[in-house]
């Protein structure tokens, strides 16, 4: 069973729908026992970094996420769910992230002719052999919606990047933790393949 963590963040249902299309048994839940007994756990989300951290704390889910990581359960953060895994964000200065991975979330710099938020399809550049990208062609296009981007401290965990006014770390993998800034559930066949790779870990 795959548990999608429910903390009132946007985009949860589209992730659920994509997993159901892959024939997976999916539960959208904030229940600690359900999450800790899942085979895989996903933290999706769109919205504000600060609001999301507040909800994770208030719902008792911050500590549950630490338990998931400690139990070595495969864990996937998507979009805001990826950003929350890191230490801090320009979006809400002074608010600490989960700090499971080292790095920070920065505002995408303004560049003439390019709109922020970054909304649309961008190609990925792969670095090393990311497990999420097994069987994909080089430089596939995926769908992004974000105004803030990841700058990971540990370059070796970055498995995909993209360019949009700056160099963006688009996906990371470390031990049982996987994360992507883009939305695999909105990225057509490429995105479904990425989700399939995750559920088959």
Among residues 16, 79, 127, 180, which one is catalytic?
A: 79
Catalytic residue among 127, 146, 169, 183: 183
The Cα–Cα gap between 148 and 72 comes to 28
Using CA atoms, how far apart are residues 172 and 153, in angstroms rounded to an integer? Answer: 11
Residue whose entry in the numeric block shows the structure tokens 């938020």: 117
Does the annotation count 110 as an active-site position? Answer: no
Asked if 12 contacts 28 with a C-beta cutoff of 8 angstroms, the reply is: yes
Number of other residues whose CB lies within 10 A of the CB of residue 119: 11
Q: CA 102, CA 166: separation in Å to the nearest integer?
A: 20
Q: Which of 16, 91, 173, 185 is catalytic?
A: 185
Respond yes or no: is residue 185 known to be catalytic. yes
Known active-site residue 79: yes
Catalytic residue numbers?
79, 183, 185
């Amino acid at each position: 069973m795959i548990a999608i963590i429910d903390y009132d963040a946007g985009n949860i249902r589209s992730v659920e729908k994509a997993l159901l299309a892959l024939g997976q048994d999916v539960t959208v839940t904030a229940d600690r026992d359900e999450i800790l007994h899942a085979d895989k756990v996903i933290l999706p989300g769109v919205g504000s970094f600060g609001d999301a951290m507040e909800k994770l704390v208030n719902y008792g889910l911050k500590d549950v996420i630490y338990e998931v990581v400690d139990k070595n359960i495969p864990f996937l953060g998507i979009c805001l769910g990826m950003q929350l895994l890191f230490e801090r964000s320009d979006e809400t200065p002074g608010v600490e992230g989960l700090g499971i991975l080292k790095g920070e979330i920065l505002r995408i710099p303004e560049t003439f002719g390019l709109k922020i938020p970054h909304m649309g399809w961008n190609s990925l550049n792969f670095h090393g052999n990311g497990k999420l990208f097994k069987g994909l062609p080089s430089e596939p296009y995926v769908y992004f919606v974000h105004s803030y981007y990841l700058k990971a401290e540990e370059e070796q965990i970055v498995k995909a990047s993209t360019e949009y006014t700056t160099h963006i770390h688009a996906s990371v993998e470390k031990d049982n933790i996987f994360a992507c800034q883009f939305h695999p559930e909105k990225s057509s066949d490429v995105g479904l393949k990425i989700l399939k790779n995750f559920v088959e870990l």
